[in-house]
Chains A and B, each alone.
Chain A
Amino acid sequence: MMQVSNTIKTLLQLLILCFSLQSFAVSDTVPEGAVSSKEQVDEYILHHLKDSHDFHLFSYTSDSGERKHVGFPLPVILWSNNGLATFMSSEFHHDDNGHVIVEKNGSKFVKLHSKIYELDAGASTVSFDEEHHATNAHKVLDFSITKSVVGVLLVGLLMLLAFSSLAKQYGKKNIPTGFGRVLEPLVLYVRDEIARPNIGEKHYRRFTGYLLTVFFFIWVLNLLGLTPFGFNVTGQIAVTACLAIFTLIIYTVSGNKDYWMHILWMPGVPVFVKPILAIIELAGAFIIKPFSLLVRLFANISAGHIVVMSLIAIMFTLKESLGVAGATGLSLVLSFFITLIEVLVAFLQAYIFTALSALFIGMAVAEHDHEHEHDSHGHEVADVEDVRGDFI
């Protein structure tokens, strides 16, 4: 066991070394990466919100007027018409406008707005239409280790290290010490405040592992997004969609007879209403619930990043009207407070995603007793579904 972990450590160190050795300072002829005007700020923010193929730390303009980028490239893995193609993202030389063409396995690739396109057969340069869309290139399936994937791997590794060390502590003592003392109440919080009340005493054990993983995954990634490394993993719609679909699969698979009865043939309503309700309920279960999960997380985190970056950009955009000191001061004060709020939002969104997942799972495994759910006037007594209605 020790040997294995040592080997893993050595491998990791090697990997990091590889990346850092390749760390590059490629120069551009024009300092186009500089951000100072309003349009450039907008473009920069939009660019940041997207996934990136290399890990960019910062850029500066050297004395000779060259634009230097500091960071390290990440591997690009593509499934093209000619099969698998792999290369390092440094081969694009920070080009994002489809100018640099990389040839691999007989396919030509360009990077355009953070996406990699494969040129159609016979084409040698990308041609654009009026809206700057490529006309002779198509998207490829991109399995690259992008910045988001690095973030996911990093968080996964951190979680594994932190929580497996906590798990190990319990072998020796009843009450964890050190960092484990911080982690234990969080685990208890998710179990006792999210899983147990929403799913119910009888079934919550089965789903606690998933809920705990998702909670810490989202929370730590949200927090990582607030660091200057500029991760925006939970702001990637593919990531939130994946999380939402996991929840969808779990509550669909574990739904009991009552749950499906409620969806397909709602008891306690006139027969002609039942098919209409079935359509609504099916849409709710398979489209609205996962969509609300994925959009809420994506939108909140993206909006947070946009607001923080816009407030930082006040430094440049209001330089003329407020002066350097005024703009910088205003920007610092505003972005400081909004960052504090974002720290709260990071937790809140992780909580909401996990709590709603737990609620949906709870609805699917709840054991209804219809005889008792209607009061003497025939009205349905408030239950989980009304609560769900308040949330969506």
Chain B
Amino acid sequence: MEVLLNDFSPGLFIVQTILLLGLIFLMVKFAWKPILNSLNERETGIEEALAAAEKAKADMQNLQADNEKMLQEARAERESMLKEAREIKEKMIADSKEQAKAEGDKMLKQAQATIESEKKAAVADIKSQVAELSVAIAEKVLKEDLSSNDKQLKLVDTMLSDIKLN
């Protein structure tokens, strides 16, 4: 301890104090302040740049998501349009089939009705002709000489075959 105190030089202490004060002052003024300021500036610059990049990335992602969404929507729309068209087509086909069938049925019915009425008309005509023929046969029979039974029968036969031929 005594040696330590003996080694302690007050003069050196004072000189060192003055020099250190000067050194701290000069270093702070000419070196540390500008260096630390520039370092801080650079760091905030880097931080800002990173944040901006991050933001740009997020924006990009948003944009991409939007695009994807729009694409999806368009696809869905197309799908629904196609479906609708298909439905319309099918409906139209079904409708026209129905219509055609109804038309056919109607025509068939008409034809049947026509046939029926023609038939009726033909039967009526036949009936009137038969009546006329019967009258004519009766006339002829009456005109012929109805002497024998045989002759009469023969007459009737001829008459009938005539009718058949008719």
Interface residue ranges of B1-26 to A (CB < 8 Å): 4, 7-17, 19-20, 22-24, 26
Q: Within 8 Å of chain A (Cβ to Cβ): is B36?
A: yes
Complex contacts, A239 vs chain B, CB 8 Å: 12-13, 16
Complex contacts, B32 vs chain A, CB 8 Å: 163, 187, 208-209, 212-213
Stretch at the interface among A91-99, A103-111, A152-160, A358-366: A152-160
**Do residues A237 and B30 form an inter-chain contact, with CB atoms below 8 A?**
no
Q: Within 8 Å of chain B (Cβ to Cβ): is A119?
A: no
**Do residues A237 and B10 form an inter-chain contact, with CB atoms below 8 A?**
no
Q: How close is B35's CB to chain A, nearest CB, in angstroms?
A: 5
Q: Within 8 Å of chain B (Cβ to Cβ): is A120?
A: no
Residue ID in chain A nearest B31 by CB atoms: A163
Q: How close is B157's CB to chain A, nearest CB, in angstroms?
A: 141
Q: Within 8 Å of chain A (Cβ to Cβ): is B120?
A: no
Alpha-carbon distance between A110 and B26 when the two chains are bound, in angstroms: 37
**Do residues A159 and B35 form an inter-chain contact, with CB atoms below 8 A?**
no
Choose among B16, B31, B38 the residue that contacts A242 (Cβ–Cβ < 8 A): B16
**Do residues A167 and B31 form an inter-chain contact, with CB atoms below 8 A?**
yes
Interface size range of chain A in the complex:
35 or more
**Do residues A149 and B19 form an inter-chain contact, with CB atoms below 8 A?**
yes
Q: Within 8 Å of chain B (Cβ to Cβ): is A115?
A: yes
Complex contacts, A191 vs chain B, CB 8 Å: 36, 39
Alpha-carbon distance between A146 and B11 when the two chains are bound, in angstroms: 10
Q: Within 8 Å of chain A (Cβ to Cβ): is B75?
A: no
Chain B: residues with Cβ within 8 Å of the partner, total of 31
**Do residues B35 and A167 form an inter-chain contact, with CB atoms below 8 A?**
yes
**Do residues B27 and A149 form an inter-chain contact, with CB atoms below 8 A?**
no
Complex contacts, A238 vs chain B, CB 8 Å: 8-10, 12-13, 16
Alpha-carbon distance between A147 and B42 when the two chains are bound, in angstroms: 41
Complex contacts, B26 vs chain A, CB 8 Å: 156, 160
Complex contacts, B8 vs chain A, CB 8 Å: 237-238, 241
Complex contacts, B15 vs chain A, CB 8 Å: 143, 149, 152
Q: How close is A313's CB to chain B, nearest CB, in angstroms?
A: 21
Alpha-carbon distance between A159 and B32 when the two chains are bound, in angstroms: 11
Alpha-carbon distance between A208 and B40 when the two chains are bound, in angstroms: 13
Alpha-carbon distance between A192 and B152 when the two chains are bound, in angstroms: 153
Q: How close is B21's CB to chain A, nearest CB, in angstroms?
A: 8
Contact status of A242 and B17, CB under 8 A, knowing A170-B38, A187-B39, A208-B36: yes
Alpha-carbon distance between A160 and B27 when the two chains are bound, in angstroms: 6
Contact status of A149 and B12, CB under 8 A, knowing A187-B39, A237-B7: yes
Complex contacts, B10 vs chain A, CB 8 Å: 141-142, 238
Q: How close is A204's CB to chain B, nearest CB, in angstroms?
A: 10
**Do residues B13 and A209 form an inter-chain contact, with CB atoms below 8 A?**
no
Interface residue ranges of B24-52 to A (CB < 8 Å): 24, 26-28, 30-36, 38-39, 42, 45
> What 1/0 mask marks residues of chain B from 93 to 127 whose CB sits below 8 Å from any chain A CB?
00000000000000000000000000000000000
Q: Within 8 Å of chain B (Cβ to Cβ): is A188?
A: yes
Complex contacts, B42 vs chain A, CB 8 Å: 174
**Do residues B28 and A209 form an inter-chain contact, with CB atoms below 8 A?**
yes
> What 1/0 mask marks residues of chain A from 146 to 180 whose CB sits below 8 Å from any chain B CB?
10110011001001100110111011001000000
**Do residues B39 and A143 form an inter-chain contact, with CB atoms below 8 A?**
no
Complex contacts, B13 vs chain A, CB 8 Å: 238-239, 241-242
Alpha-carbon distance between A242 and B36 when the two chains are bound, in angstroms: 26
Alpha-carbon distance between A167 and B31 when the two chains are bound, in angstroms: 5
Residue ID in chain A nearest B30 by CB atoms: A164
Alpha-carbon distance between A389 and B17 when the two chains are bound, in angstroms: 29
Q: How close is A54's CB to chain B, nearest CB, in angstroms?
A: 15
Which of A51, A164, A246 has the most chain B CB within a 10 Å cutoff?
A164
Choose among A143, A160, A212, A243 the residue that contacts B14 (Cβ–Cβ < 8 A): A143
Alpha-carbon distance between A115 and B45 when the two chains are bound, in angstroms: 56
Q: How close is B12's CB to chain A, nearest CB, in angstroms?
A: 4
Complex contacts, A174 vs chain B, CB 8 Å: 42, 45
Q: Name 16 A/B residue pairs within 8 A (Cβ), A-sorted.
A: A50-B7, A79-B11, A141-B11, A142-B9, A156-B22, A163-B35, A167-B30, A167-B35, A187-B39, A209-B33, A213-B32, A238-B8, A238-B16, A239-B13, A242-B16, A246-B20
Using A205-B36, A236-B7, A237-B7 as known contacts, list a sample of 7 further A-B pairs with CB atoms less than 8 Å apart, ordered by residue number in A.
Answer: A141-B10, A153-B19, A156-B26, A159-B27, A191-B36, A191-B39, A238-B10
Residues on A facing B (Cβ under 8 Å): 50-51, 79, 115, 141-144, 146, 148-149, 152-153, 156, 159-160, 163-164, 166-168, 170-171, 174, 184, 187-188, 191, 205, 208-210, 212-213, 217, 236-239, 241-243, 245-246
